[in-house]
Amino acid sequence: MRRLLAALLVLAVAGGLLAWRVPPRADLVEFLPAGRTPASAFLFRELRSGAATTLLLAAIEGAPREELARLSRETAAGLRASGRFAFVGDGSLRIAEAEEAFLFRHRYLLSPDTVPESFTAAALRPKLEALLDGLRSAAAPLLARFGFADPTGAFLGLAAGWLDDSRIESADGAWFAPREEGRGARALLVARGQGAGLDAEAQQAAMDAFRAAFEAARPGEARLLLSGPGVFAAAAAAQIRGDVEMITLASAALLGAFLFWRFRSPMLLGAVAVPLLAATVAGYAAAAALFGSVHAISLGFGMTMLGVTVDYPILLLTLRRPDETLAEAAARIWPTLRLAAVSAAAGLLAMLGSGLPGLVQIGVFAGAGLLAAAATTCWGLPRLIPAGARIAARPLPGWMSRALAALRGRRRWAFGAILAALAVLAATGGPPWQRDLAALSPIPAAQQALDGELRGQLGAPDVRSLFVIGPGTEAEVLARSEALSAAIRPLVGRGLLAGLDLPSRYLPSPGLQRQRQAALPDSGALAGAIRSAAEGLPFRPTAFAPFLAAVEESRTWPTLDAAGFAEGAPTISARLSPLISRHGGQVWGIAPASGVTDPAALEAAARALNLPGVLFLDVKLEMERLLADYGATTLRWAMAGAALVVALLMAGLRGLRAGMVVALPIGGAVVVALAVLALSGEAIGLFHLAALLLLAGLAIDYSLFLAIRDSDQAPPQNAPANGGGPHCDDHRPGAVLTCAISTLLTFGLLALCDTPVLHGIGLTVAVGVAAAFLLACALSAPARER
């Protein structure tokens, strides 16, 4: 027993040191593929580091408007002071005097109204008449400030154009959502974090900072609502972590209780733990060596797939003969156990060939762990368990032994079940392929609805449908953005979309800026136009001298780039920065589309535009195609893996018939599991395929150990010398049943999870394990035939 405990301690320390040297990563960045098309490559690159993934949308409600305004101002101030946010927007956000002066100075380079016709006497006359009327109204202070230096209205037109999509009401230094009947006031804020959007830990820290700033404002009865991609990432991670922790504790308690009841030996629990720990350490080391790091998802799902290794020590201890040592028993079952482990590892070929970094890493982790567990069981456990120790299984209840004996050899029942499952698959077309990513999300529908509501109230873009511009230089991207703006107008007229939020809307290309400078008249021509336009109006002759000076100055201004724009106008640049993406010295433009009615039709129309360097991307459509593509690739590799497993079984069992006898329950279990999924309406995805691979690994154990040669069988260690009854000559079904129940206690609970992915894995494995055990029993020969 001391050797067993020492081995557990050594493995635990080795695992701890390994995790300390190569800590598991929690963000999803390294779990994403590179992408197989330009659209998918850009999508995954933006998911890794795009500004849109770090957006936090917030609402404060449950208090009077004055109190909400105070809370909004103080919360925003706390967020800015925290240093965790690149941008914080609320009603207290005002354009500084220096920024206003910068924008006013460059208004003719930025304004789309800077064309030669705007500076003629005919165009200026109505502008001057409107200015005169405005000076007699409540807008007189504003017009007195800007009107004489900018009678064309270029600056005020710019401001209106930048803010025309906002439905926000600003009052008392806070933004408020539009009033709706039946709902109280709601203050709104928006912030952009500094970490990657898929880094759940960074996003959780940003959310904690947001909540801390809100609590520091003494909210009383008011409540804070948060949404955005980072909120979804953190919430999904917390939901999955909670489900996994709950299932881990529950399954560990149930499995420990069952094994203790079955074997009445604490040593058995240690014997089961040693191969499992060895498999985990070996899998972690292999993944770390090949990939440089191990993702937490790989660790979690890899250990889940290593649940099959619990079977190995149970089979060794249960199939041990009364007259042999544990080392002799290990040597006797080693060929069968080796074949089971190698075949299960070969079945993971689909993961290795899928092309998805996450599945490849899980496959490496599980494959290395399976082989390590088998080797540890046969070569390590005999040296760790005392020679005189006997771990005997409790006899099965009589009714259960009789039921198992009656099931042996019922081949017609087995073939009937498989044919019925095939008929179900033929009639239903099989379970549908999961194309709706929202169905895989553990985020509640109410939270997703809140996100859409806040985006609409804040005017934040929905980044599902967008145009990608580039790659190229900044000037090239802005020029293509302007070309796209002109080309998209017919599509707007057809109702395919309402509009685009283009980078060139905020910052024109250098070429267009120079074109606008060329459109500005010289001082003499402009002075003549002003005199003609002001004829008969009560303006002093020198009233528009600032206008003349500003136009002349604008003719020689250097063109603006994004860096200069951000330095001079940081507030407006905060709207531009998410629309320009930089990676590896190249620049991309992003133009989110609004009011998209039919993404597929818009995609076809955008393709017909044939604009160089412009690509339409609908995130949902692209992800559906990627899932289908990777799913088809994984399925092809799964078929190759299945062929390899059959070949290994035939080689290991030295015959086609023997190999097919073992392979039939494995294939039958997969068919039955798919039929049950189809009848239950469960759509399958990549994780269901991973679960089917795990099921195949478990079914190999059951089928092999129920089909081993008669010379390998032995009576139970606690059986009477005279045989003890009609069924004591073959106790292997009881040993395999113990393995099956152990698996069901682990994976069956996953089917009760709220997380769709975990639920799908649990349901698939639970149904498949039950089918695999029953089919293996029914297809194995009864004692009288052997």
pLDDT, tens digit (0-9, with 9 covering 90-100), for 579-598: 888 877 889 899 888 888 88
Q: What percent of the chain has a predicted confidence (pLDDT) above 70?
A: 89
pLDDT in tens, 318-356: 888 888 888 998 998 898 888 888 888 887 777 788 777
CA dist 371 and 351 (Å) reads: 16
The pLDDT value recorded for residue 727 is 36
Asked if pLDDT for residue 616 goes beyond 80, the answer is: yes
CA dist 689 and 666 (Å) reads: 15
Helix, coil or strand: residue 136: coil
Partners of 488 in the beta sheet? none
Burial of 752 (0-12, 13-18, 19+ CB in 10 A): middle
pLDDT in tens, 60-115: 988 888 899 899 989 988 988 888 887 887 776 566 788 888 988 999 999 998 99
The pLDDT value recorded for residue 340 is 84
Letter for the amino acid at 428?
A: T
pLDDT in tens, 116-175: 999 999 998 998 888 888 887 877 777 778 888 888 888 888 877 776 555 677 778 788
Residue 483: φ, ψ to 5°: -65, -40
The pLDDT value recorded for residue 729 is 38
Helices marked H in 654-717 — which ranges?
656-679, 686-706
Partners of 61 in the beta sheet? 186, 223
Q: What is the mean pLDDT of residues 491-513?
A: 91
CB 434 within 8 A of CB 683: yes
pLDDT in tens, 268-309: 888 888 998 999 999 999 999 998 888 777 777 777 767 778
The pLDDT value recorded for residue 26 is 61
Letter for the amino acid at 243?
A: D
* Nearest of 460, 431, 316, 436 to residue 376 by alpha carbon: 316
Show contacts of 269-273: CB within 8 Å, 24+ apart: 270/1, 270/4, 270/5, 270/8, 271/4, 271/313, 271/317, 271/381, 271/384, 271/385, 271/391, 272/310, 272/313, 272/314, 273/8
The pLDDT value recorded for residue 454 is 82
* Nearest of 722, 724, 614, 706 to residue 661 by alpha carbon: 706
CA dist 523 and 515 (Å) reads: 18
CB 688 within 8 A of CB 634: no
Asked if pLDDT for residue 511 goes beyond 50, the answer is: yes
Asked if pLDDT for residue 31 goes beyond 70, the answer is: no
Cβ within 8 Å of residue 516, ≥6 positions away = 108, 109, 111, 114, 115, 508
- CB atoms under 10 Å from CB of 44, counted, come to 17
The pLDDT value recorded for residue 403 is 84
Q: What is the mean pLDDT of residues 762-780?
A: 87
Asked if pLDDT for residue 13 goes beyond 90, the answer is: yes
Q: 575 — alpha (psi -120 to 50), left (phi > 0) or beta?
A: alpha
CB 378 within 8 A of CB 332: no
The pLDDT value recorded for residue 706 is 81
- Mean of the per-residue pLDDT values for the chain? 82
The pLDDT value recorded for residue 726 is 37
The pLDDT value recorded for residue 17 is 93
Q: Which of 240-244, 427-431, 774-778 has the lowest mean pLDDT?
A: 240-244
Q: Which of 480-484, 568-572, 771-775 has the lowest mean pLDDT?
A: 568-572
The pLDDT value recorded for residue 149 is 87
CB 294 within 8 A of CB 361: yes
CA dist 195 and 745 (Å) reads: 39
In this prediction the pTM is 0.72
Helix (H) or strand (E) holding 351: helix 349-353
Partners of 169 in the beta sheet? 176
Q: What is the mean pLDDT of residues 527-551?
A: 89
pLDDT in tens, 732-768: 788 888 888 888 887 777 787 777 777 887 888 889 8
